[in-house]
Structure 1
Amino acid sequence: MSSPARSTVSAASGGAVSAAEDVADSIDALYRKDEAVAELKSEVMEALQKEVRSLDDDIWMFAAPRSRINLVSRPGNAYEK
């Protein structure tokens, strides 16, 4: 038979292991959260880079001078003949 003192020590150490496991689980959860945030950040940055590349490819459409249709359609402009 175990003495009451021994059972108290084993219960206390069991509680300490449980608390240590809880702390370890919390730390693991924080690391998983950090990893998930880092993964999401990299995915968002990759998508943003694709969008920037797409806009860079399409910049030629916006590089030309603006349309002068508004100047042509106004009466009294130099473009009107």
Structure 2
Amino acid sequence: MRAGGDEETPICSAKGCRAAAEWVLAWNNPKLHTPERRKTWLACEEHREHLTQFLGMRGFLKDVVALAEWQRREQAAEG
């Protein structure tokens, strides 16, 4: 999903939100995923705290990283 029809702009994962993502919430469900597995949700500034609390209450949240930093890490890991 992308904001404003721009195919390059990641959008927030909050239901119904179309805002550009600024944060990556890395998580896993230990009942389903191996410890090193990371799934991601994207969050705009408005929904970051809500999504963080949702995952945190369930014990799923592993990391919250600025989207730009996450992208830098991904590029570095690719080569």
TM-score range, shorter chain: under 0.3
Q: TM-score, normalised by structure 1?
A: 0.19
Of Structure 1 and Structure 2, which has the larger fraction of its residues in helix? 1
Higher relative contact order (Cα pairs below 8 Å, separated by 6+ residues) = 2
Q: TM-score, normalised by structure 2?
A: 0.20
Of Structure 1 and Structure 2, which has the larger fraction of its residues in strand? 2
